[in-house]
Structure 1
Amino acid sequence: MRDFSLSRRALLASGLAAGITASAGCLGFSDDTASEDTGIELTLSLARIDGPLRNRYVHERDDPDDTWDDQALDAALNDERYTTQHRRPFFASPDDPAYVLHEETYYQLGSVVVDEVTETHPVLRLFEAEGSTATPVDGSEDGALPDGDQRAVRVAHFAARARGNEGGYPVGLVQRGGYVYRSDAAREESELLAEDGPDYVTYRDTTYEVELTHEQFHEAVYRPTAEPVAGDPGRMEAILRATFVGARVSQADLSTDARRILTEARADGYSETHPFSDAYEELLRALDRRPFIDGNVRKDAGVQANEPEMIQYEDTYYERSLRVTDDPSE
């Protein structure tokens, strides 16, 4: 991805020099940037990815991803009418596409929104019980509740545990502060949703009061799509590189010291404390991580540090990660 951030030279050349002094602190151009960054440790790690990217991102038609909707896949490949509600049929998006190989043709799978529906679903929320003498029902995997209720308790527990704490919860599972019963089968089998259902459950040594509401949801309707993108493995590999791989690094373009750092990063990781050595800066430029060199390491580059990226070194792919920490020796 192209970096659109402006350097001091670019700002001066574009006639924005008058604003430099006023905005220097926000942009990380203050004169004491280096002193502010002293003590920051940057660790580079590379994890090898064996084989072609096709092994990771492309599924055979007869061996689809477990999360895919099989009926949606059949419909998309055969140009038949089919829709899913609320969930994307392949959990794919333009930024995270899915691919399948069918009859020697590679397809990119996705979906388009074709409608919206309004549904009412039960929502389970749990609240820590205070002083109740009622006998709770065991909501754990060892209890007698149906599987759907056990899942609901587990997810609602995440939300209950996070209230008032900084730990957070899995947003993809927790909705509206609890668990939403969308499955007809789970509703029919549920003991928690019954009129005489339990008022309290226990989970991981905590007793919770059960709250059930019926709430309205506006849900998208998706039509699955399958776009042919390649007819041979080589072109498919090129598509995957263009989609997922960032920097391409060649051994011939690196100095001996930079290659040594790269070797250590592939083994146990490599760390340096700012200000960095010339070799480390050379390697960071080759990896297109210039904010770690040209800006304030903590403020400008820290937001990129923990975002993993795939790179290619010679003919091998690696997952690249950078971690910024305070120097533990201080």
Structure 2
Amino acid sequence: MVPTRRRTLQAAGATTVAALAGCFGLGDSESKTEYALDIESIDASPVDHALYRPDDDPLFGAPARTALDAILPDGRHTTYGYRPLSDEAYVEHEGTYYQTEHVVTGREPMQRRVVRVDPVPDEDVPDDAALVDDLERPSARVIKILHTYTLSEGETSTAELLRGDGYVLRRPAERESRLATGELDGRVVTMTEDGAWAYRVRVAREQVVETAHTALAIEVASDRERFREVVFGSRIDAILEDGDLSTPARAVLDEAIARGTYTETTPLSDGFEATLDALGIGHVDDSVNGKLLWDADALYRYALYVSTED
């Protein structure tokens, strides 16, 4: 059997550990790496799963529906400072299938309301402080983003949503929220019922130069059958036909599907390594998720989680 990259690395690691153990008295201690393959069934066809359909949420769903109504089949829709749709989302209109895209079409100075927060000491929290979870979602979301930013001193993934230390109200639901009307300006908002993590809200109207994002739709298929091929070519990460897997590999995959997960600790069995290779993750030494598998006329989502145990 030809050694795989993972087996080669394991062998080299074992040799190194053994040598160090002889020099420094490390004994038989050796780290083990656990590989967990998680698989869940998706109760939808590949075509239906791939299609984007906005929900009824006024914060994100409403702007998306407005944009789709404007761009399908061949229009354009421009927003400032935010994109109402995801790039490369698949949508359907009267039996034809499209992919959404955005292009930057300029910049525009405009007046926007910008929200900032200042921490309030526990002893200064007033009795009439508002609880963040009692606010409507557009306002609560902004306060929570600013709370995370403040708590992490700017080291957070949500920092990209801010302009400096302020959140710019851009989406229609935000511009109609209690933050935008000024109702919460100067009020203290707490993150918990006992008053912990309190902030005084400041809302100011400022001139902001906003990037113009223009959405459009590109036709990718004229009927469902052709669109299915588009989906398989762009969204499905692994396609398995009868006989593609060896008996040991099929046993591993079937157990992962039945149980929802299959785990081994290095050194991995031949069957597990063959399964990972068939799924296109045979040389992954870190965790991956969000992958799609088409197997035996069924759709699955799979992930590989890698962890080292001392």
Report TM bin, short chain.
0.7 to 0.9
Aligned CA distance change for structure 1 residues 188 and 32 (closer, same or farther; 3 Å): closer
Give the superposition deviation at 1:118.
3.0
2:111 corresponds to 1:129: no
Cα offsets for 1:193-230 (capped at 9, x unmatched): 3xxx33x3322122224455666644221222122221
2:221 corresponds to 1:230: yes
8 Å CA contact 2:291, 2:302 repeated in 1: yes
Aligned CA distance change for structure 1 residues 83 and 272 (closer, same or farther; 3 Å): same
Q: How does 1:110-259 map to 2 (within 5 A)?
A: 110-130=101-121, 133=124, 135=126, 137-141=128-132, 149-163=139-153, 168=156, 170-171=158-159, 176-182=164-170, 183-186=174-177, 188-193=180-185, 197-198=186-187, 200-204=188-192, 205-206=195-196, 207-211=198-202, 217-259=208-250
Cα offsets for 1:239-277 (capped at 9, x unmatched): 111111112223412222111111111122111111111
8 Å CA contact 2:111, 2:207 repeated in 1: yes
1:32 counterpart residue number: 12
Give the superposition deviation at 1:179.
2.9
2:24 corresponds to 1:66: no
8 Å CA contact 1:149, 1:191 repeated in 2: no
8 Å CA contact 2:95, 2:224 repeated in 1: no
**What is the DSSP-based 3-state SS (H/G/I as helix, E as strand, rest coil) of the residue aligned with 1:308?**
strand
In 2: Cα distance, 1:147 partner to 1:47 partner:
31
Tell me the TM-score normalised to structure 2 length. Answer: 0.75
Aligned CA distance change for structure 1 residues 216 and 249 (closer, same or farther; 3 Å): farther
1:326 counterpart residue number: 308
Unmatched 5+ stretches in structure 2: 18-29
Selected match of 2:96 from 78, 87, 105: 105
Give the superposition deviation at 1:178.
4.6
* Counterpart residue type for residue 284 of structure 1: L
8 Å CA contact 2:37, 2:256 repeated in 1: yes
Give the superposition deviation at 1:63.
9.6
Aligned CA distance change for structure 1 residues 213 and 59 (closer, same or farther; 3 Å): closer
Give every structure 1 segment of 4 or more consecutive aligned residues whose post-TM-superposition deviation is greater than 6 Å: 28-31, 60-65
In 2: Cα distance, 1:146 partner to 1:325 partner:
40
In 2: Cα distance, 1:146 partner to 1:278 partner:
54
Aligned CA distance change for structure 1 residues 133 and 72 (closer, same or farther; 3 Å): closer
* Counterpart residue type for residue 98 of structure 1: A
Selected match of 1:45 from 34, 38, 42: 38
8 Å CA contact 1:120, 1:214 repeated in 2: yes
Give the superposition deviation at 1:162.
2.8
Aligned CA distance change for structure 1 residues 75 and 212 (closer, same or farther; 3 Å): closer
In 1: Cα distance, 2:278 partner to 2:138 partner:
50
* Counterpart residue type for residue 230 of structure 1: A
Tell me the TM-score normalised to structure 1 length. Answer: 0.71
In 2: Cα distance, 1:31 partner to 1:118 partner:
61
Task: State the identity %.
Answer: 29
In 1: Cα distance, 2:130 partner to 2:307 partner:
40
Give the superposition deviation at 1:325.
1.7
1:4 counterpart residue number: none
Unmatched 5+ stretches in structure 1: 1-6, 9-27, 293-300
8 Å CA contact 2:119, 2:200 repeated in 1: yes
CA RMSD of aligned residues (A): 3.6
8 Å CA contact 1:284, 1:290 repeated in 2: yes
